Chain A
Amino acid sequence: MTALSHLRQLEAESIHIFREVAAECQKPVLLYSIGKDSSVLLRLAQKAFYPGPIPFPLLHIDTGYKFREMIEFRDRYTAELGLKLIVHTNHAALNGGANPFAWGIQRCCGALKTTALLDGLRAGGFDAAIGGARRDEERSRAKERVFSFRNERGQWDPRNQRPELWNIFNTHIRPGESLRVFPLSNWTELDVWQYIHAENIPVVPLYFAKLRPMLVRGDTLLPLEQPFIPRLPGEQTQLVKCRMRSLGCSPCTGAIRSDADTVPRIIEELIGMRRSERQNRVIDHDQDGSMEIKKQEGYF
């Protein structure tokens, strides 16, 4: 027999990680963020526990500003798979007027994502949160462990991480502390799409190119789902053939011009792509090392 292909090896390693969490953690939860990585995560969880059910609930941190198509997909797909979905939103901040324009991106993310996540985890009493982050997404993620330790306040200390050897994971924590677990650590964006293709995994239609109304500002294509997005004088939306490369909150996620309307075309586009996946995520641009800072504060 020949060696397993890279996708089969990645798949088996992720399944191993899922099974370790289920066996060793008291109350895990899967952080479901609706994007392509989450879709892959769900398929891997199904495989890990088959023929049994996925033995933990899903938690979605809904900022209130996700794309409508994401929420539709979330509700349809999780119902179809018969999964238990918990949705947590920081309503106090939303009622207080939180949005990226009124509050600034940092403060808005802090309230609607980081605080909401920590509150959601605490409310559920979860000791392990499984997420779809990949090490290739961002430089500081490259240092993250598969089982990443967080203190009582959900904070990450990059200089003081547990060494992780072979495929043996240390899941021991004290009450109040928690783990973030990343089964897709070793996957790249290309691996994810190849796997979606090989396994025929459903993803949100926003990933596929079609004509969509956008505000065109230089290189940026801004979707207009929220009323508070300020328009420049005389600015009108235009119909642009485009798609989302990564999904987040609609006011902070730019689209890319694209004709890729099928998974193979997305893969083809990706191979020729010269810019990284996160460049259309406005949120990472605030300051050098901003992801590292957010993670130290408790962000995923």
Chain B
Amino acid sequence: MAAPALATQDAFEEFLERERTKDLLRFTTAGSVDDGKSTLIGRLLYDSRNVYEDQLESVTKASLGRNAGVIDFSLLTDGLRAEREQGITIDVAHRYFSTPRRKFIIADTPGHEQYTRNMVTGASTASLAIVLVDARKGLLPQSRRHAYIAALLGLRHLVVAVNKMDLVGYDAAVFRQIEEDFRAFLREFPSIHPYFIPVSALCGDNVVARSSNMPWFEGLSLLDYLEQVPVAGRTHAAAFRFPVQRVVRPDRDFRGYAGTVASGRVRVGDAITVFPSCKRTTVTAIITFNGNPKEAQAGEAITLALSDDLDITRGDLIASAANSPTTASSIRATLVWLDEAPAELNRRYRLKHMARQEWTELKAIDYRININTLARESAPALEMNGIGAVRLEAARPLTFDPYAQHRTTGSFVLIDPVTNATVAAGLVQGPAEESSFARPSLRTANAINWQIQNGALVISTTRPGGFSARNGNSSGSAITDEGTLQTFHALLEKLGVSLF
């Protein structure tokens, strides 16, 4: 590890203080097999002095066995025996390194068949992706896929590393052509901020330090860029969201709600709403082991105490009263299918969304995305590595924000109830109906209330804005018994509420 010269005790204290306040960047890698992802990461670790001697010795030994004369940096990340034997990466591997400015967490993902599944997994926690392009091959269809997946998963920053520049004589024209081509199709993904850099992972050019082999390149080295790219996410500015993980009741006098602030901030005295019940109350205390702060922000794990004794359970979502999320049982979502057994229509899956688990049924596959052309295709089924737009119906309402606006409240996974496998990654798009309110189902009994008031049938929901409808004759004429059911159906129709 980079050892700063710590001449005096003061300097060391200062150093410790800086270390305590440094931030964290998570990134993932993408590229086809053999583009050099593992080598690039190995190089980044090695040149930033985050590799220990004995680790290096053990991979140097192995490299000799595999006929290479130089150190094979990919062996630093390819940790399983089968990987070292076959020279491939099997599964997402996590790597850690730090510089005086930042701590980095890398998800190194393999580029072979299971590639979509792995890249989606790696990207789900990352805020930046490094996409590798082999300088000799130029842009390939998969480069487009990588950009698509990065954009889909909400990554803002994309580093396009044009690798193996040593094999094209460090030619500026090769790099510029690839950059131009890549920029052309990035126009489809306006949310992405790209950074282009020519590198040789094997030789270390432009990885940690700027390379004298490419004086024509004037940008930052890869590491310098990673150190200065902004990390403070959107989550800080967003509205307050707090998924309730546990109800804390150590004794009769105390009742609190433990969870992690998913976005925004909360202060003592804030008005909040609990979803899906829509009950309102205020925050009386923020409790932590280290004391009770007046305020907490996105990312902090805290316990909230509220002024009213409400019926709040694990899986509820506490949100700012002013800016509320959507509640619906029927949702539109993008699914990335992760399992060998394809998605089955009308089959029940467990849906885990924040701390909530609900039974859900896959109602429709509206279309599948062709990952190479990005065209929408009709699809009878969704297979492993497939990405599709679907509709799901949950047994009880879910409270969410669209994934594009909120990573935590907009993401879920599907679990197969028989095999217990995690079969899909889900990104919420919105409620299944065009109206801003969802189409709730009568099975979700607590979402719909109906009563007879002055002889008129009134149906209402407990969702935000609580819409209601009464039968046309609100002047008070009684509903006859025979007529009730018919009126009821007519009103449901009007509200867009389905019976099932």
Of the candidate stretches A77-85, A96-104, A118-126, A165-173, the one touching chain B is A165-173
> A177 to nearest B CB, angstroms?
8
Closest to B52 in A: A276
Q: Is A47 an interface position by the 8 A CB rule?
A: yes
| B121 contacts A168, C-beta separation under 8 Å | no
Interface string of B92-121 (1 = CB under 8 A from A): 111110100011010000000000011011
Partner among B96, B236, B300 whose Cβ is within 8 Å of the Cβ of A12: B300
For B120, list chain A residues within 8 Å (CB): 165
Which 4 residue pairs of A and B lie closest in terms of their CB atoms, listed nearest first?
A139-B79, A15-B301, A276-B52, A52-B250
| B92 contacts A3, C-beta separation under 8 Å | no
Of the candidate stretches A29-37, A155-163, A205-213, A224-232, the one touching chain B is A155-163
With contacts A19-B258, A168-B412, A186-B96 taken as known, whether A271 is within 8 angstroms of B4 at the C-beta atoms is yes
Interface string of A32-71 (1 = CB under 8 A from B): 0000000000000011111111000000000000000000
With contacts A158-B91, A172-B350, A174-B420 taken as known, whether A1 is within 8 angstroms of B236 at the C-beta atoms is yes
Partner among A15, A135, A164 whose Cβ is within 8 Å of the Cβ of B96: A135
> B2 to nearest A CB, angstroms?
8
Chain B interface residue count, CB cutoff 8 Å, equals: 85
> B247 to nearest A CB, angstroms?
9
Q: Is A143 an interface position by the 8 A CB rule?
A: yes
For A46, list chain B residues within 8 Å (CB): 289
With contacts A12-B300, A274-B53 taken as known, whether A5 is within 8 angstroms of B23 at the C-beta atoms is yes
For B117, list chain A residues within 8 Å (CB): 163
Partner among A53, A186, A289 whose Cβ is within 8 Å of the Cβ of B81: A289
Bound Cα distance from A75 to B4, whole angstroms: 39
Partner among A2, A143, A272 whose Cβ is within 8 Å of the Cβ of B80: A143
Q: Is A275 an interface position by the 8 A CB rule?
A: yes
For A164, list chain B residues within 8 Å (CB): 121, 422
Closest to A139 in B: B79
| A197 contacts B16, C-beta separation under 8 Å | yes
> A181 to nearest B CB, angstroms?
15
Bound Cα distance from A273 to B55, whole angstroms: 13
- Which A130-148 residues have a C-beta within 8 angstroms of B? 135-136, 138-143
7 CB-based A-B contacts, threshold 8 Å: A5-B21, A5-B23, A6-B23, A50-B303, A142-B93, A271-B2, A275-B53
Q: Is A25 an interface position by the 8 A CB rule?
A: no
For A176, list chain B residues within 8 Å (CB): none
For B63, list chain A residues within 8 Å (CB): none
For A185, list chain B residues within 8 Å (CB): 94
| B81 contacts A267, C-beta separation under 8 Å | no
With contacts A4-B297, A140-B79, A185-B94 taken as known, whether A274 is within 8 angstroms of B52 at the C-beta atoms is yes
> B105 to nearest A CB, angstroms?
6
Bound Cα distance from A164 to B338, whole angstroms: 11
Q: Is B288 an interface position by the 8 A CB rule?
A: yes
> B453 to nearest A CB, angstroms?
41
Q: Is A7 an interface position by the 8 A CB rule?
A: yes
For B6, list chain A residues within 8 Å (CB): 268, 271
Interface string of A195-208 (1 = CB under 8 A from B): 00110000000000
With contacts A19-B258, A142-B93 taken as known, whether A170 is within 8 angstroms of B301 at the C-beta atoms is no
For A188, list chain B residues within 8 Å (CB): 96, 98, 103
For A275, list chain B residues within 8 Å (CB): 52-54
Q: Is B162 an interface position by the 8 A CB rule?
A: no
Partner among A191, A268, A279 whose Cβ is within 8 Å of the Cβ of B103: A191
For A198, list chain B residues within 8 Å (CB): 20
Bound Cα distance from A190 to B109, whole angstroms: 25
With contacts A50-B288, A166-B124 taken as known, whether A19 is within 8 angstroms of B420 at the C-beta atoms is no
Bound Cα distance from A16 to B301, whole angstroms: 7
| A162 contacts B421, C-beta separation under 8 Å | yes
Q: Give the one of B6, B79, B260 with max A CB within 10 A.
A: B79
| B303 contacts A143, C-beta separation under 8 Å | no
For B19, list chain A residues within 8 Å (CB): 194, 267
| B299 contacts A9, C-beta separation under 8 Å | yes
Q: Is B478 an interface position by the 8 A CB rule?
A: no
Q: Is B223 an interface position by the 8 A CB rule?
A: no
| B301 contacts A51, C-beta separation under 8 Å | no
Bound Cα distance from A37 to B237, whole angstroms: 34
Interface string of B291-304 (1 = CB under 8 A from A): 00000010111010
For A136, list chain B residues within 8 Å (CB): 95-96
Bound Cα distance from A113 to B79, whole angstroms: 23
Closest to A14 in B: B301
| A190 contacts B1, C-beta separation under 8 Å | yes
Closest to B237 in A: A1
For B265, list chain A residues within 8 Å (CB): 1
- Which B396-437 residues have a C-beta within 8 angstroms of A? 407-408, 411-413, 415, 420-422, 425
For A15, list chain B residues within 8 Å (CB): 260, 301
Closest to B59 in A: A139
| B422 contacts A23, C-beta separation under 8 Å | no
> B76 to nearest A CB, angstroms?
8
> A50 to nearest B CB, angstroms?
4
Q: Is B248 an interface position by the 8 A CB rule?
A: yes
Bound Cα distance from A22 to B81, whole angstroms: 34
Q: Is B68 an interface position by the 8 A CB rule?
A: no
Interface string of B9-31 (1 = CB under 8 A from A): 00011001001111110000000
| A168 contacts B411, C-beta separation under 8 Å | yes
